Amino acid sequence: MSGRPIISNLILAMGAACCVTGAAFAGDLAAAISPAARSVALPPGGTATATTFATVINRTDGALGNCEPELPGRFGALDLSYAWTNPADNSLIPGSENTPFSLGPRASQSLVLAISGTAAFDGIVPPVFECAGGANADTLYGINTLDLTISETAPTDILAIGIALPSNDGVIRIAEAGGRQAYAIAAINIGADGDVLVSPRGIFGQNAPLPADITICESGPDGRCLAPALSSLTVNFAQNGVRTFSVFVRADPDIGITLAPANTRVEVRFLVGDRLAAATSAAITAPGPQAQGDARDALRLAQQATFGPNQSVIDDIRRRGVEAWVDRQLTLTDSTYADIAAQTVNPNFCRGVPQPCGRDHFSAFPLQMRFFRNAMDNPDQLRQRVAFALSQILVVGENEVNTTYALGRYQQMLLENAFGNYRDILRGVALSPTMGDYLDMVNSRAEAPNENFPRELMQLFALGEGRLNPDGTPITDSQGRVLPAYTEADVVELSRALTGWVYPTRPGELPSVNNARYYDADMSVYAAEHDSASKIILGEGLVGGQGAAADLDEAIDILFEHPNVAPFISGQLIQHLVTSNPSPAYVGRISAVFENNGSGVRGDLGAVVRAILLDAEARTPNPDLNRVGKLREPVLLMVSTLRLIGAQSDGYVFLRRAGGMGQIPFESPSVFNFYPPDFALQGSDGLVSPSQGLVNMSSIYERHNVLYDWTYNGYSTRWDWRPLSSWPGATGTSVNWSSWGRLAQTPERLLDVLDDIALEEDLTAQQRALILDAMEEHTYWGNPLEEAQRRARLAIYLIVTSPSFQIDQ
C-alpha cells in the first residue's frame, strides 16, 4: 500500500462543501456520506484516491471517545484515511489527519474521507464508524456508503457538490398534502468530458413507488430553468465544468410520506452509460390526508378482496377507507378476456399447423397467462377475485372443452357479471355453448335427454343437495335427516325442459340438428329435438308446447327463485373471499342481501359482495377463534407472494408451478372444482377447510419449495422465471430486490414492515430474534449490497413459508 494521500490538496478540487443529507435512525451513532458515488482514474503504476465527506453524530446522551472510521476487513485492497473538517466550510483542520475524535452528547463531527486503491475496483464501500465501547452506526446503502469506481481509463467523474434545501436540515419537507417543494443541486465534473444522464428517482421503502412526481431541469445562475423540467435529462459535461440543477417534487395528495430517512428519499443520479458516476439524495416527508385507516384491517381487506396485500394496496385502502375502497373496486373494469374470446377459429384451424397454434387456439394457456397477469397488476382486484370464485362454482375446464375462444367467452361472461345479477349468470351459463359442450346439454334430444347439465345445474350451480335455511344450516326432518333440495324426478323433468339446444348457428347458415361445434354465440334452438310436453320442476309446472327458449327461461326462474339459492351461493362466496366457516348469522345477513339488495332486486352480486366485505364478521378485529381462518389456495398463495415482493411477471411462472400444488385455473379435473366447499378439516370437530382438499404431504412440500425458490433462491436466472420464447411479448418474471436490500440494511425495520404487510403482526420476540440471527449469519464478503439483498430474501422466505402467512385470519 502506498503512503497516505495529502488530503488538503484534494479538498481544493472539490470547492464548496456539502452537507449531511440524512441520518441513520438506529444505533448509537448515525453517519452520513456525501457524495455517495465517485469515479476516479488509476494512473499507470500509481494509486487512485477518491474523497468524500462524512458526518458522524452521537445519538446518545453520553460522551463517546476514540471514534474513527475504518473499512471492513474484507476491503483489504483499499485504504481509508481521514481528517477532521470545519462543518462551516468543510476546510481541513490541520494536524487532524487519521486522528480519532471524541463526540460529546448529541454532538457531531464532520470529516473528509479518502479511499485509495492501486487496482481497478467497482463496488460499494461501507465505512464503519465506531467509537470506544463498540458504539457504531448502521450501514445504510446510499447514506453512508460510497459507490466507488476505480478504472484504468479516465472516467467522467461527477461530484454532486451541493444540495440546497429550504429546510436547512437536509430533508425535503412538503408542507401540505399534495404540496410542492423545489431544491437546487450543483455538480462538478472533475474527470473527462462526457455525456451524462441526470436522473432523479424516488425511493419508498420496499418496491412501492414514491408517491410523488419528480422532475428536474438545468438551471442558470438565478435558479431559473434553462428548459422545462423533465423526468430526466442529458447534459454534456466538460472537464471541470460546474452545472446547477433544480429538482421539483410534488407529493401525491392522497398518500402521506412518513419521515424514514433510510427508506423515503429522492435521489439524483448522474449516469455515464450504465455506470453511476455520482449520486446525491435527500430524505423526504409529506403529510397525507387526515383519515388513515387501521393498518391491520386494511391488511385483512387486502387478503379478502385482492390477490395479495402489499404496501401499495394497504396504503390505498388506508387512505380511502374500507367502504370507499370497496365501492371504488365495484366500479373498476380493467381486466378482460374479450379479445381472446373474439379470436374465433374453426375446429380444424390447427390441422397440420405446428405449435404454438394448438397452444394458442386449443388450450386454456392464453387465458391462464392473462388471468395471472391481471391478478398481478390490474387494479380491478375485487372483480377478478369474484370472477375467480365464480369460475370455481360454475366450473368449465380445458379437459373437456379446449377451444381457447370458447373458454375465453365463458370466463369473460363471469368477469363481466361478477357484480351483476346471479340470474343473468345462471341463464348465461345455461345458454353457453362452452358449458353446453362441457356438461353435454348441447344436442340433448327429446327422445333421450342428457341429465348431466340439468343435475349439476341444480346440485352445484343453484341449490345444493339439501334444503337450506336462509342462514345456510340444513333443514332436517324429525329424525335429523337432511331433506333433499330436489328429487330424481326433478332431474328428469329439468332434463326434458332443457332438450332441443344445439351449437349456435354460424352466420349465414341454417340451424340443423347437427350444428358444427361453434361457440361464438348462445346455443341455438332446434325445435324438433325439444320435448314439448308439460313438465313439473320443484313442484312448479311448465305448460306444454311453449318451446325450448321459454322452457329454459321458466326453468331458470324456478331455480333462481328457490330459497336455497341465496344461502347456497352467498355462503360459497363468503368462503372464497373471507372465511371457510362463516357463522350462520353471517350467512343469514348476506342471504338477506341476496334476496333483496335494498331496492327489491334479488341476486345482485355487487350488493352481495359489498355486504360480505363490510360485514362485522369480516371486519372485526376480535373474531371467533373457534371458526375464523382460511388456508390460502395455491393460486392465491403463489400470486400473493409475488405481489408482496413486487415481482414483475407475465404470468408464465405460475403456470410452471401451479400443477404441483393441484390448482391450474380453468383446468379443474371435473365440474366439482379443485376442492369441495365442505372439505372436512380432520381433527377439528366440525370445521371445513375447502382448500385443505388440495393439501397432502406432497403439496405441503411443493408449497414450501415454490416459495423457497422465489424468495431465498430468487436469483434472476431462475429456470421458472425465464420467459417463454414462443410467447409474443414474453417477459418472464423478475424481482428487483434492491429496495428490499435497502430495507434490510436495518434488519429490525425490515421485520417490522414484513410483520405489518404480511403477517398481521404475528411475529413473536423469539421468532424475531431467530430471524435476525439467521440474517446476521448470512455474510457475503466483498459485496454489502448483495449481502443486504440476500438477508432480505432470507427474511421474506422465513415469513412466507410460515403457517401464519399461508393461513389468513
CB of 446 to another protein, least distance (A): 8
| Cα separation, 748 vs 755, whole angstroms | 10
| Cα separation, 722 vs 237, whole angstroms | 39
CB of 394 to another protein, least distance (A): 16
3-state secondary structure (DSSP) of residue 448: strand
Read off the amino acid at residue 356.
P
The pattern of x and - marking residues 533 through 572 that bind another protein according to CB under 8 A reads: ----------------------------------------
Binding another protein (rule: CB under 8 A), the pick from 698, 716, 781, 782 is 698
3-state secondary structure (DSSP) of residue 774: helix
CB of 679 to another protein, least distance (A): 7
Positions in 9-48 near another protein (CB under 8 A)? none
Binding another protein (rule: CB under 8 A), the pick from 697, 717, 725, 728 is 697
The answer to whether residue 491 forms part of the interface with another protein (CB under 8 A) is yes
Q: How many residues bind another protein (CB under 8 A)?
A: 82
Closest to 326 measured CA to CA, from 639, 641, 615, 628? 615
Read off the amino acid at residue 621.
P
Closest to 349 measured CA to CA, from 404, 407, 410? 404
| Cα separation, 150 vs 146, whole angstroms | 12
Positions in 391-450 near another protein (CB under 8 A)? 439-440, 443-445, 447-450
| Cα separation, 684 vs 223, whole angstroms | 71
443 sits in the region (left: phi over 0; alpha: psi -120 to 50; else beta) called left
Which grid cell sits at 131? 467509537
Binding another protein (rule: CB under 8 A), the pick from 386, 525, 645, 798 is 798
Tell me whether residue 272 or residue 695 sits nearer to another protein (CB atom).
695
Q: Which residue has the cell 363471469?
A: 414
The pattern of x and - marking residues 153 through 192 that bind another protein according to CB under 8 A reads: ----------------------------------------
What are the CA-CA distances from residue 364 to residues 144, 396, 669 (Å)? 51, 11, 13
The answer to whether residue 515 forms part of the interface with another protein (CB under 8 A) is no
Asked whether 362 and 404 are in contact (CB, 8 A), the reply is: yes
Helix 295-305 vs helix 381-393: crossing angle, to nearest 10: 40
CB of 775 to another protein, least distance (A): 8
CB of 269 to another protein, least distance (A): 33
The answer to whether residue 61 forms part of the interface with another protein (CB under 8 A) is no
CB of 677 to another protein, least distance (A): 10
Binding another protein (rule: CB under 8 A), the pick from 9, 168, 725, 766 is 766
| Cα separation, 523 vs 502, whole angstroms | 6
Q: Which residues have CB under 8 Å from 174's CB, separation 6+?
A: 180, 181, 249, 251, 257, 284, 285, 286, 287
The answer to whether residue 776 forms part of the interface with another protein (CB under 8 A) is yes
Tell me whether residue 16 or residue 513 sits nearer to another protein (CB atom).
513
Asked whether 253 and 10 are in contact (CB, 8 A), the reply is: no
Read off the amino acid at residue 178.
G
CB of 169 to another protein, least distance (A): 38
The pattern of x and - marking residues 647 through 686 that bind another protein according to CB under 8 A reads: -------------x-x------xx-x---x--xxxxxxx-
CB of 627 to another protein, least distance (A): 7
Tell me whether residue 222 or residue 777 sits nearer to another protein (CB atom).
777
Which grid cell sits at 327? 365501492
Positions in 439-478 near another protein (CB under 8 A)? 439-440, 443-445, 447-452, 455, 459, 465
| Cα separation, 705 vs 375, whole angstroms | 22
Tell me whether residue 274 or residue 685 sits nearer to another protein (CB atom).
685
Binding another protein (rule: CB under 8 A), the pick from 264, 515, 572, 692 is 692
Positions in 745-764 near another protein (CB under 8 A)? 762, 764
Asked whether 345 and 617 are in contact (CB, 8 A), the reply is: no
Tell me whether residue 248 or residue 780 sits nearer to another protein (CB atom).
780
Tell me whether residue 280 or residue 806 sits nearer to another protein (CB atom).
806
Binding another protein (rule: CB under 8 A), the pick from 62, 550, 598, 701 is 701
Q: Which residue has the cell 482514474?
A: 41
Tell me whether residue 290 or residue 764 sits nearer to another protein (CB atom).
764
- Positive or negative, the CA dihedral 430, 435, 440, 445 is positive
Task: Based on DSSP, count helices (H) and strands (E) in the chain, helices before strands.
Answer: 26, 27
Burial zone of 539 (CB within 10 Å; 0-12 exposed, 13-18 middle, 19+ buried): exposed
| Cα separation, 368 vs 658, whole angstroms | 11
Binding window for another protein (CB under 8 A); candidates: 166-174, 427-435, 689-697, 731-739 = 689-697
Burial zone of 565 (CB within 10 Å; 0-12 exposed, 13-18 middle, 19+ buried): buried
Tell me whether residue 101 or residue 805 sits nearer to another protein (CB atom).
805
CB of 569 to another protein, least distance (A): 18
Helix 311-320 vs helix 322-329: crossing angle, to nearest 10: 110
Tell me whether residue 146 or residue 498 sits nearer to another protein (CB atom).
498
How far is C-alpha 3 from the chain's CA centre? 52
How far is C-alpha 637 from the chain's CA centre? 12
Positions in 194-233 near another protein (CB under 8 A)? none
| Cα separation, 647 vs 377, whole angstroms | 10
- Kindly provide the residue ranges of all beta strands, DSSP E only, lying in 207-302, ordered along the sequence: 212-219, 233-237, 242-251, 264-272, 275-285
The answer to whether residue 109 forms part of the interface with another protein (CB under 8 A) is no
CB of 513 to another protein, least distance (A): 10
Residues in the chain: 809
Burial zone of 77 (CB within 10 Å; 0-12 exposed, 13-18 middle, 19+ buried): middle
CB of 427 to another protein, least distance (A): 22
Binding another protein (rule: CB under 8 A), the pick from 627, 656, 718, 722 is 627
Positions in 277-336 near another protein (CB under 8 A)? none
Asked whether 67 and 102 are in contact (CB, 8 A), the reply is: yes
Give the largest Cα separation in the chain, rounded. Answer: 110
Tell me whether residue 60 or residue 804 sits nearer to another protein (CB atom).
804
Tell me whether residue 328 or residue 656 sits nearer to another protein (CB atom).
656
CB of 802 to another protein, least distance (A): 4
Read off the amino acid at residue 175.
A
Tell me whether residue 70 or residue 776 sits nearer to another protein (CB atom).
776
Tell me whether residue 783 or residue 802 sits nearer to another protein (CB atom).
802
Which grid cell sits at 282? 435527500
CB of 486 to another protein, least distance (A): 10
| Cα separation, 412 vs 394, whole angstroms | 13
Burial zone of 54 (CB within 10 Å; 0-12 exposed, 13-18 middle, 19+ buried): buried
Binding another protein (rule: CB under 8 A), the pick from 118, 402, 469, 705 is 705
Binding window for another protein (CB under 8 A); candidates: 122-130, 352-360, 361-369, 765-773 = 765-773
CB of 147 to another protein, least distance (A): 27
Tell me whether residue 364 or residue 592 sits nearer to another protein (CB atom).
364
| Cα separation, 517 vs 190, whole angstroms | 74
Binding another protein (rule: CB under 8 A), the pick from 27, 377, 708, 786 is 708
Tell me whether residue 176 or residue 776 sits nearer to another protein (CB atom).
776
Positions in 712-751 near another protein (CB under 8 A)? 712-713
Binding another protein (rule: CB under 8 A), the pick from 342, 536, 543, 770 is 770
